[in-house]
Chain A
């Protein structure tokens, strides 16, 4: 059983003064995964870029590069894609019945078949430190001998319960320690926190960037443009693959989740980053995302 979505992600910048040169890098298009197939996809940049290229990055994500040479005061980037998403792999919960310590020891011993990958996701990364406070927080869920998936479910449930989701309470530059202390944040903070906890106890976890189809309240029509890009995390289950979990919504990521990119943390896969040349001091940003189911 699978669902097909049309995802439209439109970002508009308005600048105070002329931007004379603009360089950008985009992680906006869905990647191919076992449970996800990209039917069609396209990035449009306005004004028309001098160069617009696509390639795969270090983690295999699709990334676009653009250069704009003509002076402009507005920039619009629109990514449109049609993606078919299946249910997550069935075997995971079964294999996830292993005690979590077995996985930790297998990772530490380098004995996993995918140990090279596993190592990259168990170390600290630019935005996620390894620290005792996260280990202590994780250990309340990862008690001795507890099955891995069970412990993961407990961890994300606790993050969901202990932390308040508050748009605007953090920015991309807020350190994780602040999020942990103030107990508020947004989806990417919770994803980072979950990863920090898992890595602190020796489990490989990665950051996932993508979209989530939101469901309107009963009786209300679905509004366009209210969805956003979303972030969650993924844990390596040996021999089964990566298990996606969403601490923001306290659930395993199912067929309503569309993946664009994964990395060690947000810094590896920002949806849009760039360098602009301008005398202006401010910019206004407007983002609109629509995730619409177009068929089963």
Chain B
């Protein structure tokens, strides 16, 4: 077989003037690509599209998202876009990239060490002091803080390099990432998916595995712990579920096995950092930081930050906690630094860098400024502090006027600007609607400090631009990711086993180590899931009655329908709703709104949004399969807009989809989650909510007498909504009676829908919650409710007074509802962090203004 055939059948045409990853100048596949190129030719475009759809489906199932800023709401989650065609690197080329990345990391480490230490480089003007002092990432409060531990003294812990190719195919670094480099978790996810989409190609290609890198990361984190921490407690600090890379934070936390925390989950006491766990504070020794440095401490850094921990800088300064990357590490992301790295490499390493960066000129120097201003249309222009993603300006994209205005901006503040050569980038084969086409690509490579040197992930995150001509590649503007295959020259031995020899390590006590906020989110996840399920069932029961009786001549039928509609309004507290006679007469729009109106409290859409928000906030705790239903659930609700006649039909099928997803979620909770403290909170939330929903349903349906025919229809609907109709029919067969309905729904501990069952489960759950006394307040309340329930006599409860009301039943249900509500409040008070608002305490406004002028 000649190698030119597959390319012809793929009809692949490299971009003119660009180095192409797959084919050489003559159009022949490069040696390390030949296997895949012919394999793709064999598969054909249609099959590749099928694999692409499969990849999209898997990503959807795993709930892989990238949050996009500036689109207003939490709904701006963007599905991660992954090309089925990987980027391939030969082992030989990778070796040189790897050693180049290590060398750059070592150089940047020395610079970081100096900037926050002796500042000799500034003293000798090897690095102009301006570019350090004027950079927003230089945190003076963090001067002198050193990363200790047994890690060999490296100050730069995580490093990532964005690598592109010039026209000759030479690898060149276009950006150094040192703040809190993101992307390694996405790279891992890309691999997981591509491995499943191209199983045999992956197997036969001898690709380096990524998992060992994450084991190295784990060991590296232990290594940087303060020396006193024998078995260090490590946490991953995230800004929260709305951050652009929140998915990755959760992936990292769960694959490393460390708690995912937000700033408010941590507190500094006595100069140490503690995690607010359920029931107590637990010490924290190492923080893997994904919050930008300046946001980490409102006391000493950004005063109005809500993402940080007051006192954190002081704790780090005292050596009580190791924070990686160190606070202030983003000073190395200054693009002006690149202008001086060649010189610094000579000075600090004694040799030029093997992996160079794009040639860069800092406009603070006269000669460089002249050069940049002369060549503005050919260069990439960047401000020295990265204000917003995508802040780089391509001179070639600017009009004459824009160039002139940029020139003036640079001239007025030259020190703030940097120009770099614009690289052509390489073309990487990417699947489009028309088959394989080249797209410009950039590779992010990752390194971590370990035992005095750096370990590079054998692979990385490749991103390509979605259009053929675009020159800007960023996940914020819709770049497509690619898996990155580094071929090994020989079959790779399995190393870095998870299974380790040596003495058994004590498990981190599964009963105690989740942040209190996580417990709170799990609790609300349980409550919202149950609320959504109860509402869906009731909506379906109402819909059934509507189908039967709307516009019907049956008076009991119409009365039942109306009573159920009013019940809907009571249960959801969406007044006036169906208490308004006009809506009652024509319920269609309001019913639709109760399903789809996400902006209104009490609706199904709102409960599901709240549920999803909780799920995203605790994704490190949930089974991966949970994301099987999150996508469909999100879609079921979010796709309900458009023309309203069709919408009614679609709303009904959405209800089915919602119900299916909620049942899966419930099943996962039972079958796939360890019964740890977090699960207990989720289950307790479910039990309370199911009880509340049941009591409200009964309280607004069967506490008054209507007519025998109506009451009978009502009981049937109530039993349907309470998911007990089949049991009831099976057990009692005869016509419905309220007494036996109450027996089944309230007292029968064997019915998983009954109140007695909820209280049983709740009692079990609460026993596991941490408590100080013998019985906690919530335990007392549940015990009291249970006692009241056991003592109840259904025959007496159903007594009817002269006005057709059942006052005993009303009182009884109302009392239980109050107890359950109080239980919920007690749990909230006792176990969840109440984020007391924080304020900056400022003394000087009054102080300095009081000064009188010297007489």
Contacts and interface: CB of A to CB of B under 8 A. Distances in A.
B140 A228 contact: no
Contacts of A22: 841
Contacts of A268: 140
A266 B847 CA distance: 13
The 4 closest A-B pairs by CB, nearest first: A272-B843, A228-B850, A274-B841, A228-B851
A248 B843 contact: no
B140 A248 contact: no
B844 interface: yes
A172 B852 contact: no
Interface in A92-148: 110, 115-116, 119-120, 123-124, 130
A270 B851 contact: no
Chain A interface size band reads: 35 or more
B299 A228 contact: no
Contact of A212 (B130, B303, B847, B851): B851
Given A58-B141, A124-B134, A266-B844, A277 B838 contact: yes
Q: Looking at A22, A25, A256, which has the most chain B CB atoms within 10 Å of its CB?
A: A25
Given A69-B269, A228-B849, A231-B848, A276 B129 contact: no
B634 interface: no
A25 B298 CA distance: 11
Interface in A182-205: 186-188
B845 A58 contact: no
A186 B848 contact: yes
A272 B850 contact: no
A271 interface: yes
Nearest to B122: A116
Given A270-B842, A276-B838, A287-B843, A165 B850 contact: no
A165 B851 CA distance: 10
A53 B413 CA distance: 41
Interface of A: 11, 13, 20-25, 50-51, 53, 55, 57-59, 65, 67, 69, 77, 110, 115-116, 119-120, 123-124, 130, 165, 167-168, 170-172, 186-188, 212, 214-217, 226-231, 248-249, 251, 256, 266, 268, 270-279, 283, 285-287, 289
Contacts of A188: 844, 848
Chain B interface size band reads: 35 or more
B837 to A, nearest CB: 7
B470 interface: no
B844 A271 contact: yes
Contacts of B143: 58
A110 B855 CA distance: 41
B130 A119 contact: yes
Contact of A249 (B298, B846, B849, B853): B853
A276 B854 contact: no
B671 interface: no
Contacts of B415: 123
B437 interface: no
Nearest to B143: A58
B123 interface: yes
Q: Looking at A23, A187, A212, A270, which has the most chain B CB atoms within 10 Å of its CB?
A: A23
B839 A123 contact: no
Nearest to B123: A116
Given A214-B854, A214-B855, A275 B140 contact: no
B654 to A, nearest CB: 41
B854 A273 contact: no
Contact of A215 (B119, B837, B855): B855
Contacts of B271: 51, 53, 67
B299 A229 contact: no
A272 B310 contact: no
A285 B843 contact: yes
A251 B853 CA distance: 11
Interface string B799-815: 00000000000000000
B516 to A, nearest CB: 15
A186 B311 contact: no
A281 to B, nearest CB: 9
